[in-house]
Structure 1
Amino acid sequence: MNQQHFRKKTDLLWKNLTASIDQINRKESDIVLRSEEILMKTDAAIRSLKDLLRQYRFLDWSDEIFFFRNIKPKFIAIYIYYSKVLAIESSRPHADPPTLKTYYENERTSLLYFYNEHKEFISYYRRKAAYLDKKYFIRFKFDFKLKLSPEFYSYDESFSTSHDHIVAQIIANDFLNQYLTDQLSTPEEVRNVISQTPKLEWTAPKVALIELLFALYQTKCFNGGHTDLAEVFRWAENSLNVNLGNYHKTLGEIRLRKSDQTKFLSLLQKNLSQFLDDMNR
């Protein structure tokens, strides 16, 4: 298997996993049941990813670093995130709002331990530094002078480096922090916001909104880029009272346009430019 084929296989595996997660989140309202089903799907995807790696030989160290810094961690992050959500929600007390608020605040505070424990590496990762990548993301070359995860000895050394799991934890904990922040919004606050906001409904073609949302997502306009695509679309559907259906399929149709693939974005730019020109006259 060559590099191009390997990358296509892993990209397709990721695309199928995120599509499955989106479908599960749409059809099931109970977060515990959703998390359990998503964990099963994610476990299967990770096993498939591992099988793909067995069939592939990295071209060089940069190829290996790319896999363990960028590809594998996003799969593992999904598993970690939903495992933690499942643990939190299945143990959530049936209590009054103040007690629940304290419960979620304690869960969010516990994330600080991880951030403090790995603050040097987190800074390295978030700054997109690369000078230690050969130590962090190459297999069989563990530097025990570096700070390693306590679970390190249980890792499959053919499928792990010293720090790819920590990258996955960073991604997962960023998602979890946002989840807990959302849970800490009390019903009273939510009702006040809704009551003060006029109801808006999307009346342009659905394909136009899908084009716009994909563009915003790719530009990391939501939560600093730390959010799922499915969450962006659920937010839009709920906020604008519209059902966007199979938006992955619609994106494929947009990609196949023979001229002006992003015609709605082009229309937006044209209309805004015209408006600004008219103001200057």
Structure 2
Amino acid sequence: MDFKPLIDGLQKDLKEAQVNIPNVIKRANHSIRLCHSLLSIFKQGVINDGFESIEKEIEFFKSYKTIPASQLIYHSQIGSFELEFPKGDENAQRKFIKKRLNRINRFYRNHTGFSEYITSGRTHFDEQYFTRKYLSSFPLSLSHIYFHDLDFSTPKDMLLSEFKAYDSMLVYLQNRMIDKSKLRRVKAKELNNQLNLQWTANKSAMTELIYALHYNRVINNGNADIKEIASAFQQVLHFDLGDFYKTFSEIKSRKISRTKFLEDLASGLQSHMDSTDL
């Protein structure tokens, strides 16, 4: 069987699905069916025709079968990820993505020896890893059995497929994380433009307020950095603080009241409450 034209056809079909099927879950399911179909064709060809040599068998299980198999695993991972992805809660979404990333990194750590063998281009164990006659010599250690068959599997062909799939899934998850961050920045910018709020007091007044909020630990339970708070104030209130560290140093060196703005705030609020009590 000539495997290359079939591989080329699969890759063409997968690219067309990427363009023509905008829904991620539907596209994943369609891609899974394409991969299953080709693997079934490959299996039948291998069972019927066999291989001319050990070298041809290694080439098939190492270079050809792993293409549809890795795509099958990759799109299965995407489908399950998108189905389980939390809706609405951004903190839960970030945690969910990080959990999946941790799972992939754990997979890499558990198979460092095989990873080094593949990435270094070594071939001395290829006969043991990528021919069927050694299948009983290795324990089956896959986290998921996607397409395991005694007549159509070797000790390591599906493990190599998992590596290829997780390499792609890692990129997918990282892009998902970046997309969420971009969306938050765009939404924040749009909100700021709509609010059109402007700080009309001076730099010292805003600096007093920022430092008071920070050191009283009222934002993120005190875990927010002073720079983050200052940046948020400047962005939302369309005001340039300049060197607020220097401004705070000048506030500390005042001879009379070092918290004049905060005291004026408290006094103004108290006066308002007193007047409305009458």
Shift of 1:187: 4.3
Instruction: State the percentage of identical aligned residues.
Output: 21
Alignment partner of 1:149 is 2:146: no
Cα distance in 2 for residues equivalent to 1:67 and 1:186: 37
TM-score of the aligned structures, taking structure 2 as reference length: 0.61
Task: For residues 22-70 of structure 1, give each alpha carbon's deviation from its aligned partner in whole angstroms, at most 9, with x where no partner exists.
Answer: 1111112110111011111111111111122223231221111111111
Alignment partner of 1:96 is 2:89: yes
TM-score of the aligned structures, taking structure 1 as reference length: 0.61
Shift of 1:17: 1.1
Cα distance in 1 for residues equivalent to 2:135 and 2:54: 14
Matches within 5 A, 1:105-124: 105-124=98-117
Cα distance in 2 for residues equivalent to 1:91 and 1:157: 32
Which of 19, 42, 50 is the matching residue for 1:49? 42
Larger Rg: 2
Cα distance in 2 for residues equivalent to 1:110 and 1:77: 17
Shift of 1:140: 2.1
Matches within 5 A, 1:32-71: 32-71=25-64
Shift of 1:186: 3.9
Alignment partner of 1:29 is 2:22: yes
Cα distance in 2 for residues equivalent to 1:162 and 1:130: 15
RMSD of Structure 2 on Structure 1 (CA): 2.2
Is the CA contact (8 Å cut-off) linking 1:139 and 1:157 kept in structure 2?
yes
Gaps of 5+ in 2: 187-278
Matches within 5 A, 1:146-225: 146=138, 148-150=140-142, 155-189=148-182
Amino acid paired to 1:31: V
Is the CA contact (8 Å cut-off) linking 2:129 and 2:157 kept in structure 1?
yes
Aligned residues: 184
Is the CA contact (8 Å cut-off) linking 1:140 and 1:157 kept in structure 2?
no
Is the CA contact (8 Å cut-off) linking 2:57 and 2:131 kept in structure 1?
yes
Amino acid paired to 2:141: S
Residues 135, 28 of structure 1: alpha-carbon distance in 2 compared, 3 angstrom cutoff: same
Is the CA contact (8 Å cut-off) linking 1:136 and 1:161 kept in structure 2?
yes
Residues 62, 188 of structure 1: alpha-carbon distance in 2 compared, 3 angstrom cutoff: closer
Matches within 5 A, 1:226-265: none
Task: For residues 193-244 of structure 1, give each alpha carbon's deviation from its aligned partner in whole angstroms, at most 9, with x where no partner exists.
Answer: 9xxxxxxxxxxxxxxxxxxxxxxxxxxxxxxxxxxxxxxxxxxxxxxxxxxx
